[in-house]
Amino acid sequence: MALFLDFDGTLAPIREEPDCVYLPPEGAEILLAVSARLEERLVILSGRDVRDLTRRVPQELWRAGGHGAQICAPGTAPSDVLTAAPPELVQRLQQIASPYPGVVMERKGEVLALHYRGAAEAGPQLKAQMSAAVAGFRGYSLQTGKMVIEARPDHADKGKSVAAFMRRREFSGRVPLMIGDDTTDEAAMQACLQAGGAAIKVGAGASVAPFRLDGPEDVWNWLREGLN
């Protein structure tokens, strides 16, 4: 197996403040043990900036940040400088977010996210305004998730990332499995299914995944069982 794991909502509960999300106690130890069992074919595939992701999961794992646009192999540190989003788009999204108390803009390299857990009612307005703003930037599109709307370049796609990993020599001959909780994970799940693998949806909601787990605690129980 080649195992792909989302971070927020899959390995840790989603929080109102993204900076407050961490692995549970013994989480790093379990991930390292599973990775060793899979001969380092375990990838943490997240929408987070890979530098941020590396602060939250062991550096000995594969890390794919920015929805797969930023890759770090086991034992390697991320670059201090990532490709940034167009400054004009950054400025426009800051202007969109500023009138809404509780809306936070997060820069994730080329990906920009507006988190609105603190202003849930603002979702439709934010989506409409962001859609108009992104329309002026070639190669960018919107992606919605759980109380977040992201402007991302077309190559920042979890499905494309899974496909690229499976073309790597290290992953040759492996069967891919994706575990994720959000709409941003569906493309990766679909890629796994198309490659003859499997997918597990965490939590409620429509999904292409044929299997489900209720929440992060169940994901950890599943990982522990795999070590027995």
Active site residues: 6
Q: Are the C-beta atoms of residues 30 and 224 closer than 8 Å to each other? A: yes
- The DSSP string of 42-79 is EEEE-SS-HHHHHTTS-TTSEEEEGGGTEEE-TT-PPP
- The DSSP string of 174-191 is --EEEEE-SGGGHHHHHH
Q: What is the largest CA-CA distance in the chain?
A: 52
**Angle between helices 158-167 and 186-194 in degrees, nearest 10:** 40
47 φ, ψ to 5°? -80, -10
Q: Are the C-beta atoms of residues 106 and 119 closer than 8 Å to each other? A: no
Lookup result for tokens 């044929």: 210
65 φ, ψ to 5°? -100, 175
